[in-house]
Amino acid sequence: MRRHPCRSGQPPTRSSHCCEILREAAALADEGTLRPLLDGTRYTLADVADAHRSVESGTADGKVVVDVEP
């Protein structure tokens, strides 16, 4: 099994550069500097078709949240 480029000990490659970007993004998210943009409408599982339409039509402002209740 191949090891992920970030953990292989090999010289940097494009994919390992992407790993560094992800590490930096994770650090920014941990400190609260980087936050996701969420659409103002919250959907339930019963309304998932409406959520999908919002994404497909481009009317969603950011990520769409679908609440799944147990």
* Residue 69 confidence (pLDDT): 83
Least-confidence region, from 2-11, 18-27, 36-45: 2-11
* Residue 2 confidence (pLDDT): 56
| Boundaries of every domain in the chain | 38-67
As a whole number of Å, the CA-based R_g of the chain is 18
Q: Torsion over CA of 45, 48, 49 and 52, rounded to 10 degrees?
A: -170
Average pLDDT over residues 11-31: 83
Within 13 Å, how many C-alpha atoms sit on residue 53's CB side? 6
Q: Is the pLDDT of residue 52 over 80?
A: yes
Return the structure tokens found at 62.
């950011």
